[in-house]
Every structure is written in C-alpha cells, then in structure tokens.
Homo-oligomer: A and B are copies of this chain.
Amino acid sequence: MEQAPTRRRGRGGGGAARRAERSAVSFETAKFIERNIPNFEVLTEEALEIIENNAEKVLEEIGVNFPDNPAALQRWRDAGADVDGERVRIPCGLARKLCETAPPSYTQHARNPARTVEVGGKNLVLAPVYGPPFVRDASGGRRYATMEDFRNFVKLGYMSKWLHHSGGTVCEPTDVAVNKRHLDMLHAHMTLSDKPYMGSVTEPSRARDSVEMSEILFGKDFVAENTVMTSLININSPMTFDDVMMGALEVYAQANQACIISPFIVGGAMAPVSVAGTLTQVLAEVLAGIAYSQLCRAGAPVIMGAFVTSIDMNSGAPTFGTPEASHITYGAGQLARRLGLPFRSAGSFCGSKLPDAQAAYETANSLNMGLLSGVNFMLHSCGWLEGGLVSSYEKFVMDADQLGTLHHLAAGVQVDENAQAMDAIREVGPGGHYLGCAHTQANFKSAFWKSDLLDYKPFETWEDEGARDTAALATLRVQKLLSDYQQPAMDPATREALDAYVAEKKAAEPDSFM
C-alpha cells in the first residue's frame, strides 16, 4: 500500500513518475468554511467585562504555575511578572498586552496547495478526533488502537470531503514504542494524505522531530518562513503549564509553527461548577499561555483553545453535548473575538459507548454550537466516541458526513433574482407543484445538502435491503472508502528522505513504552 502512486513536484522526474501521476486519484475536499452567517452570542457586554476583569484578577492575585521550567520563569520575570517559586503572578493588563503580537489569523500550508487552510476570521477548519487509546468498529468491538488503525483513520480523513485537516493523533498507536510512535504518525499524515497536519507535543524533542520531518516534506526554507503545522498544547487546568507541553510550545513558537493553547476542563473538576466561573478561568489560562507563546517568539501563530465540558456529579463522568458546554463555548468564542485571536473549540463530542442515538444527539448539539459560536479550528470534528477514549470507525464517517451540514448552514441565504424564484411561483400558481418547473430543473442539483450516508429510501426498499440502521450503513461506507483509497502522489526523493529519517531516528534509541 505504501508503494502506491507518486507524483513529482518541481524537481524534475522520469516517465515512471509521470505515469504514476496520471494514475493517482485525487479525492474531492471542500474548501474550509467561510461563514456567511452571524455568530451566536449569549453573553452581554456587562457579563463579558465582568469575566475579563475577573480573569485579570486571577492572573494578578492568584497567578499560574510554570513548574520545572526555570527558563519560562526567567522569561516571565523579564516581562515584568511577579515570580514566586513556580508561581507566576501577572500584573493586570500585562498578559493581554503580550497577546497583541499574536496574529489574528494565519495560513497553514498543506503539501497540496489546494488544501492549505486559513485559520481565523470567519473561517472554520475541520480536523478529526485526537488522542483516543482505543478504537471501535462493528466487527472488532472496542480494542487498543494500533498503527494500522492510525493509518486507516488518516486514509478515511483524506477521503472525507468535508474534512479540511488530517489532524494529529487520530488514535494512539499503542503497538509502537512511545518514544517512536510520533515518527510513524507524522510519516502516515505526510505520505497517506496531502491535507495539513499536526505535530507531536509529548516531548520537546518530538516537536523538534516534527519540525525536521516537515522540513523534509516542504523544504527547510519554506518551513522557516511558513506555518506548516498546528499542534495542540493543553494547559493542565487549573492554571498549570507543565514543562513538557511548554517545552513543545517553545519549540513550535520559535520555529514559527502554530499552536492551539487550550485549557482542558471538565467543569466542576478542573474549573468551577458554573459557566461564568469556568469562562473566567479559561480566559485567565489562555491569556497566560498565549502571552507565554509571544514571550518565546513575538508574532508566533496561536489559537485560543477551550476544551470544556460538564460532569455528571453522580458518576464523575464527563458529559457532552450539554447546554452548559454550549454556554461556555458560545461565551469563549466571544472572549476570543475580543482578544482578536483564532478560536478552537467543540467537536463530535459524546459520552456514548456506541455510535448510537445518544452519540448522535450529543454530537449534533456540539457540532451546531461549534459552528454558531464562531470556532475557527474544530479539532475532534469527527470520530470521537466514549468521552474521547475511543476513535470509532463508524462514527468517523457518520460525523464526517454531518460536517456537510455545517458547510451549507454557514453559506447563509442567497436573495438574488434566481433565489427569489418569483417566476417559479408565477409558473406553478395555487394548487400546482414545483417538481417539474423550470426553476426547479435549473436549481435542484445544488439546492439542498444531501447526505452520502444516511437512509432516504422508501420504507419497503429499506426493509428489503435488511432494515439497516445508521451504524450498519456506516460500516459499509468505511469498507468502501478503505477499499477505494489511493495514496496521493509524492516525489520519490521526498518519500525516501522521510523513510530514512524515521529509520535513523528509530535506530538511534531503544524502544520505550513509558
């Protein structure tokens, strides 16, 4: 599979490469969403000011921790913060001031320029699930994820029309050593897809490896001047910036590569059990984190992240698709826009163990509010199951199909003469029907979003075909996509260099599963 068609780009090439190029299939990917609809805002001006003032108080009076990171403490001291042990207290206004050098939007380049994305403004970039140690499918049930699963999810992402980004840890490949799996993961994103991708954050050295592999893929000069990765830096909420994540952030910021700086909050556990309290902490944390990114390199591209959900106080389980999670996300979007920064939140969140109705209710609640809250980068936009413990094959294609609704919703409403359709209303008149009228004939193909997965068949046909539910249809779609998959073309020299880099790095140290 990995010796599939290749394509040379601008470095010359022989007949074999050209033949390979002709045989390579390119799968259609929709352009990232450019919203032509308003954002939905739940916080009043007064509420926003209260939260912003309280966040400054949190930073000045309580402060944040940067443990085991003397260089970070020194940067904060130099910037004018009050550093006491690992605690950093940031005078009112300083963090927000430092955030001003972060760009309001940035371009993340893909190796296929048609798939380059703009992150920020009115745009929404959709990326798949990130992080689950397990996978689930209809035939194999729930099991630890492997590198084969990882490659399958990258292929599914590549072939998903409404997905703009290949993501990062689409599942955790537990059969590869912890200290080497980032190499295989990046190699998979780079070679099995041509969409933009994320870098490793689990060690600063792995962030450096990610930059070096990107330099092979894009060229060293290109990477020096352009952003080719957006990586996920989680804050250890409440208000702790651990040295591993900060080490990765330092590498990426200094290389001018983008990071999502994101509180990771289950409300009531890592933040107060109230929306306003959680938003206060979220804002304090992102102000500190983004300010720190700008201390590492002023102008480094960053996204204000907010992973927030609610909790079931009876079981302690995080809950998803809930109204409080929506309130927090709508509010966080407003705070991000007032900061002038790209915003990451929402996703195909659910707590369900199966790709069933619960999964779909919770996911649809989350996807819809994600669009309307003005999210610019939606990680986890498909494939998330069981509170993020599981990457689901079926749910990946189910969610990826629903992402089409976000594209069409975001397009807004046309009112040009064709859309007004007055000729159609005149032609049909009272008591008629529009199925055959000229306006319908001219417009029906593009008029309505249409699922590539869901069942629209007559009852009898559906019954004759086995009365399949959505999960069963999704299983068929997964099989079809994986069997239709064709690898995007790549310059053989690039491919060889990537292979060699991974092999060399892997040989340089023993496997570790710690």
Residue of B nearest to A312 (CB): B456
Shortest CB-to-CB span from A45 to chain B, Å, is 11
Indicate if the CB atoms of B319 and A448 lie closer than 8 Å. yes
Taking a contact as CB atoms closer than 8 A, the residue among B331, B418, B456 that contacts A351 in the complex is: B456
Query: How many positions in chain A have a CB within 8 Å of any CB in the partner chain?
Result: 125
A457 to B354, CA, bound (A): 13
A469 interface hit (Cβ, 8 Å): yes
Shortest CB-to-CB span from A412 to chain B, Å, is 6
Indicate if the CB atoms of A274 and B431 lie closer than 8 Å. no
Shortest CB-to-CB span from A52 to chain B, Å, is 12
Residues of B within 8 A of A281 (CB): 425
A369 to B276, CA, bound (A): 24
Of A46, A420, A463, chain B has the most CB atoms within 10 Å of the CB of A420
Residues of B within 8 A of A439 (CB): 272-274, 277
Shortest CB-to-CB span from A41 to chain B, Å, is 7
Question: Which listed segment binds B: A164-172, A215-223, A358-366?
Answer: A358-366
A512 interface hit (Cβ, 8 Å): no
Interface string of A46-76 (1 = CB under 8 A from B): 1100110010011001111100000000000
Taking a contact as CB atoms closer than 8 A, the residue among B61, B277, B365, B470 that contacts A419 in the complex is: B277
A20 interface hit (Cβ, 8 Å): no
A449 interface hit (Cβ, 8 Å): yes
How many copies of the chain does the oligomer comprise?
2
A412 to B326, CA, bound (A): 10
Indicate if the CB atoms of A430 and B238 lie closer than 8 Å. yes
Shortest CB-to-CB span from A114 to chain B, Å, is 24
Residues of B within 8 A of A479 (CB): none
Given contacts A277-B424, A357-B398, A448-B322, contact A430 B87 (CB under 8 A): yes
Taking a contact as CB atoms closer than 8 A, the residue among B310, B313, B326, B440 that contacts A445 in the complex is: B313
A94 interface hit (Cβ, 8 Å): no
Residues of B within 8 A of A422 (CB): 54, 57-58, 277, 280
Residues of B within 8 A of A310 (CB): 447-449
A323 interface hit (Cβ, 8 Å): yes
A43 interface hit (Cβ, 8 Å): yes
A421 to B50, CA, bound (A): 12
Shortest CB-to-CB span from A480 to chain B, Å, is 18
Contacts A63-B430, A310-B447, A358-B469 given; 17 further ones with Cβ under 8 A? A62-B430, A142-B459, A238-B431, A267-B448, A268-B435, A270-B433, A276-B420, A280-B420, A280-B421, A315-B458, A317-B456, A322-B448, A352-B455, A354-B469, A361-B363, A364-B368, A365-B405
Per CB-CB distance, the 7 closest pairs between chain A and chain B, nearest first, are A277-B421, A364-B364, A360-B360, A272-B421, A323-B408, A239-B430, A357-B470
Interface pairs (6), CB distance under 8 Å = A277-B421, A313-B445, A322-B405, A331-B413, A357-B471, A364-B368
